[in-house]
Amino acid sequence: MYAFEFHRATSVEEAAALLAKTQGKLLAGGQSLVGAMKLRLSSPSSVIDLGGIAELRGIRKEKNAIVIGATTRHAEVAASPEVRKAIPALATLAEGIGDRQVRNMGTLGGSLANNDPAADYPAGVLGLGATVRTNKRAIAADDFFRGMYETALGDDEIITAVSFPIPRRAAYLKFRNPASRFALVGVFVADTGTGVRVAVTGAAPCVFRVTDMEAAFTKSFTPDAIKSVRVDPGKLNSDIHASAEYRAHLIGVLAARAVAQAAK
């Protein structure tokens, strides 16, 4: 780790001002940033800690949605009675992130802002058609994820909360990378009431939706509905753990199994 300046913001406004002034990095749970800094892969001159901003943390129900503050820990989401009741698939997703230590520190907003191609939350946010709230605006999930580690966030924009509409039923299944245990492929399927959304993480540079599967599942919410749907491996990742073809195959297997689970 290189030396850096540490700032602890007490409000979103202060954090945004510090961000604009220092061009630093926001620190939420630190589960990606701190590791990268220790390896000297990231060397921000300033780090602005959001941990002291109470308004960023918490879970509440708002009409037909669950709203989760940006610095809410994964473990809190996993254990939340509101989430478990309204969107059990989201609690399951949070419960499966990293390990116990990561879940006790890592945050929803940190995960989304980082947009790691193998992170779990992007699949949940995109799959549920959630809305990302920032200090400046509300961004639909479909507009938020722009590419590998790229989001729609502006330079001094800070995620404040995410609003997850409550689906009729949903499920998230993850096939883990045997080494890192990140998602080699993760599939979030949600029957929203107005249609089915299928979001895939881990398989490509950025989370994405599989519209052919969505159409098929909207017609029939059964595993067999996608039997003839083929995922094009052309845009998928290929690495030592999984070829694009294998990932494409796994998307189909996991999507079918997720529907079976959600339909239970």
The footprint of another protein (CB under 8 A) covers 39, 175, 178-180, 182, 240-243, 246, 249-250, 253
Rounded to the nearest whole angstrom, what is the least distance from the CB of residue 113 to another protein in the complex? Answer: 20
In the complex, minimum distance from the CB of residue 186 to another protein, in angstroms, rounded to a whole number: 13
Residue 180: CB minimum distance to another protein, A? 4
Residue 240, Cβ density class (10 Å: 0-12 exposed, 13-18 middle, ≥19 buried): exposed
Whether the Cβ atoms of residue 113 and residue 144 lie closer than 8 Å to each other: no
* Contact partners, residue 259, CB within 8 Å, separation at least 6: 171, 189, 217, 221, 222, 223, 225
**6 vs 55 by CB, closer to another protein:** 6
Q: Which is nearer to another protein, 155 or 240 (CB)?
A: 240
Closer by beta carbon to another protein, 43 or else 194? 43
Identify whether the C-beta of residue 68 lies closer than 8 Å to the C-beta of residue 77.
yes
106 or 109: CB nearest another protein: 106
Q: Nearest distance from residue 109's CB to another protein, in Å?
A: 23
H-helix segments, the chain? 12-22, 33-38, 74-79, 81-86, 88-95, 100-105, 108-114, 121-127, 141-144, 211-219, 244-263
Which residue, 77 or 254, is less far from another protein as judged by CB?
254
d(CA 50, CA 91): 23
Nearer to another protein by Cβ, of 130 and 231: the residue is: 231
The span from the CA of 70 to the CA of 176, in Å, is 25
Closest CA to 226 of 261, 202, 203, 260: 260
Please report how close the Cβ of residue 20 comes to another protein at its closest, in angstroms.
Answer: 30
Is the distance from CB of 172 to CB of 124 less than 8 angstroms? yes
Report in angstroms the alpha-carbon separations of 222 from 83, 149, 159, 166, 192. Answer: 25, 33, 36, 20, 15
Q: Could you tell me the smallest distance in angstroms from the CB atom of residue 33 to another protein?
A: 16
Instruction: Report the residue number, 139 or 183, with the smaller CB distance to another protein.
Output: 183
Whole-number CA gyration radius for the chain: 18
**Quick count: other Cβ atoms within 10 Å of Cβ 262?**
23
Nearer to another protein, 55 or 239 (CB): 239
Provide, rounded to whole angstroms, the least separation between the CB of residue 108 and another protein.
22
**Which amino acid does the sequence have at 99?**
D
| Least distance to another protein, CB of residue 157, Å | 29
